[in-house]
Amino acid sequence: MHNHHQLTVDLHGLPSHLWHATKHLVETVLAPLLLFYLLYRLTGFTGGLLAALGWVAAAMTFRLVVGAKIPVVLWLTTGILVARTVLGFVTGSTFVYFLEPSLQNFLIAIVLLVTLPFERTFLAKLANDFCLLPAELTRNARVQRFFRRVSLLWALVFTINGLTTLWALAQVTLGNFLVVSTAGSFSLVAVAAVASLLWFRRELRGEGIRLRFGKRPATT
């Protein structure tokens, strides 16, 4: 057993952060996508465009009415969706409408690779946003090396997602494309997330650092 500087890192906030992230994902990505497809099948392309835009507009309006905080991700996805809807109306093309989310994967992969030389990679900053990591952890050389290596894994994940969705967009029907781009992409991301967490745990164990999940024990 390691007896040098045994450190326990509490990730008690992680489950609630992941729950909020899942809710945002459903609200800003999955629900508009489902509504788009439903109305597209029932009324055509224009109906689909208006349904997806109507959903995010309703979500924004509801928050403004009740005085709730509007997450940055909702502002961002609404802005992008407005631009995509305008392009969709102008071109009348589902390919153009779904091209931006596909290309977004490559943009994220580039950001991950560009930040590799820095002391704190983009992924390390993102992890810190989800769960405040102590300085002993973020300054640890092994942890920094882990974030560089795992950034390469995630750059590969987003590149595969981008290539797969572009191929599906060009080759298959809209219904099949939505299945490939959502079910396929999210399952790949879920597998990579679990693998990353297990890898992180293993690296920390090598440093005599233990991760603790769940609620922090109450101390008074």
Residues 180/168, Cβ–Cβ less than 8 Å: yes
Domain extent for 82: 12-92
Q: What pLDDT, in 10s, does the model give residues 169-204?
A: 888 778 878 877 788 788 888 899 889 888 888 888
Number of domains in the chain: 2
Other CB atoms within 10 Å distance of the CB of residue 157? 22
Question: Does any domain span residue 3?
Answer: no
Q: What pLDDT, in 10s, does the model give residues 117-173?
A: 887 888 887 776 666 666 767 777 788 888 899 999 999 999 999 998 888 888 877
Q: What single-letter DSSP state applies at residue 214?
A: S
Is 202 found in the same domain as 155? Answer: yes
Is 186 found in the same domain as 150? Answer: yes
Residues 85/36, Cβ–Cβ less than 8 Å: no
Is 16 found in the same domain as 70? Answer: yes
CA distance 3 to 40: 62
Is 103 found in the same domain as 163? Answer: yes
Is 107 found in the same domain as 198? Answer: yes
CA distance 112 to 152: 7
Is 206 found in the same domain as 175? Answer: yes
Give pTM, 2 decimals.
0.73
Question: Does any domain span residue 50?
Answer: yes
